[in-house]
Structure 1
Amino acid sequence: MTDWQIFRGTNEPHDGIARLPPPQQWRAFDGSPPVTAKLPTWSPVDVVRASFYQADPQVLDLVNAALYLRRPLLVTGKPGVGKSTLALAVAHELGLGPVLRWPITSRTTLKDGLYTYDAIRRLHDVSTAKEQDEAETDIGRYITLGPLGTALLPRERPRVLLIDEIDKSDIDLPNDLLNVFEEGEFTIPELERAARGDQSSAHVSTADRGADDVVVGDGSVRCRAFPFIVLTSNQEREFPPAFLRRCVPLQIWPPGREELMRIVQARLDPDISAEATDLVVEFLRRRDASDLATDHLLNALYLTFHAARGGGDREQLAQRLLSHLPTSATGT
């Protein structure tokens, strides 16, 4: 660890984000008034995953570069190397609240990440009102901010947003994100139209489950602290140069033997590391010829050592698991 690092990779929560220096002038944002709504609590599973993350020096340097520069971090690597877990580790260590998740498919659009407008529900409410004056006029109740829209709310400290598997997106999505990444803001046309009438602000719900509504004024959302955005890619496609220029690139390589042993010790049991050596070596040999992920090894170790205690054939079970377990979707 060096003095300039905000994220240290220690897995111990701290207030280091308060030491983050002001951004460069062209990356400073002035969203106001600040949102003070309380953040939701972490899920116990995410806390465990964040606490076990093992960061190497290259990861630490580039995560901190993205924090300083207020730029998205584009993380590439094979499935199972810990790309999405990195977002959890940063959010947990720096006390930035639960990670906002935006999983990407070939049908995902920019608007999906920013907000949704339930026009059908509003039409139903208006049509079933006994009198026109009774019809719901607060359009905000029909709008829900998406993960990206929630991350851009004007909070004093950045939120962490995971845009998972951006390489699966439609070809236009990376370019569509450029303006949002540059300006740190977006507009909601439905609220803009209401603002031209007699509703200058609206209470809308967010992507944080169970959290209080937030106020959006004049139909515009603009951040104060640019969110820490982690975009993951399994390298299934190339991205436009303009998109790449706006990201800090990070390539995560599959862990070697020493790193794997540290992961095994952290996630399972320090006392079994010596016994696990043979299985780690076998895993590395097989990984070179296939797409085995670290999850394969952890699953095999967990089950085979329990099988050994129960009198099972540990070696035979390990061979089967390393051959047939699918790559875990949670280890990207």
Structure 2
Amino acid sequence: MKIKAAVTHEQGQDFKIEEVELHEPRLDEVLIKIVASGVCHTDAVARDIGLSPFPAVFGHEGAGIVEKVGEGVQNIAPGDHVVLSYAYCGSCENCLSGHSSTCENFNDLNFGGEMSDGTHRLHQHDQPVSTFFGQSSFGTYAVANQRNVVKVDKDVDLALLGPLGCGIQTGSGTVLNKLKPAFGSSIAIYGAGAVGLSAVMAAKIAGCKHIIAVDIHDNRLELAKELGATHVLNGQKSDVVKEIKAITGSGTHYAIETTGVPPVVKQSVHALRPLGAVAIVGVTPAIEFDVHNDIMAEGKTIMGVIEGDAVPQLFIPELVEYYKKGLFPFDKLVQFYEFDQINQAFEDSKTGKTIKPILKIS
């Protein structure tokens, strides 16, 4: 079938909405009419550093309505409202033990450009076009493996839900699935973008006593307070480590680092109390640590977390329930754009004008 999609032909190139051919779903695959797709920093990184082969259709926070299912698909039917998340194999040790976000085949399935059977569903001028995250949701339709597909309630605005598939899942899941902070504990969240603010809301759900948001934009810090932060610090105006230790007594029990900025990553470690743990979720370059003084001597833990260590089919419906109960108001992060405004949406995300852009596609 002919569809419209945002095609990227070369590294760093702006998105161009063009006609491409989308082939029928095969074994274990689902055809989805895309209603909306979130704009995520990972899409920009993949485009700008060539993370997937070109030409490619990016987009990995899709939400839509199932139109057709292939052979072998279970518990998904035409008409279902769905959110699309990351691809995983379902059969490696990590997948089988409930940690599909660290699937041993994660990179190949999400960034390799091919479907799980090694073929392509997208073509243009008889040439293959790479699929991203097993979905390529910057298009009017997408074909995805059933493992990418999460059924959601039909009584919630479907256009709003796409970001639950990656960015919002990452922030909230890192708190609720990985760190699992004890009631009354303290947590610092570095970066008040979509991932960080999702972590703030999750920390409030978890009952943290001190929820400290750190950013350089005062408007984002104000929103962090609205969403549950008990304290906010502007990193350009405060001695962050000193202030956090003054608030907590000896540092935070937990931290989440979303910025990938080396000095901020170091702050997240230095502001931990002994035995504290920080989860790194941002794309981060090489950093030099004094392992003895920064980590070992105080029993601290630095861990990497992908996709909030979430199993999407279990976790995303939980987030929707929290949202329906007013406990997870992630709609306050969102601004909608029309599909043909895709390049403006990415620019507004880059400058910080918009926390979480969502493209309305159909």
Report the TM range for the smaller structure's normalisation: under 0.3
Query: Of Structure 1 and Structure 2, which has the larger fraction of its residues in strand?
Result: 2
- Structure showing the higher helix proportion among its residues: 1
TM-score (norm 2): 0.24
The structure showing larger relative contact order (alpha-carbon pairs under 8 Å, at least 6 residues apart) is 1
Under a length normalisation based on structure 1, what TM-score does the superposition of the two structures give?
0.26
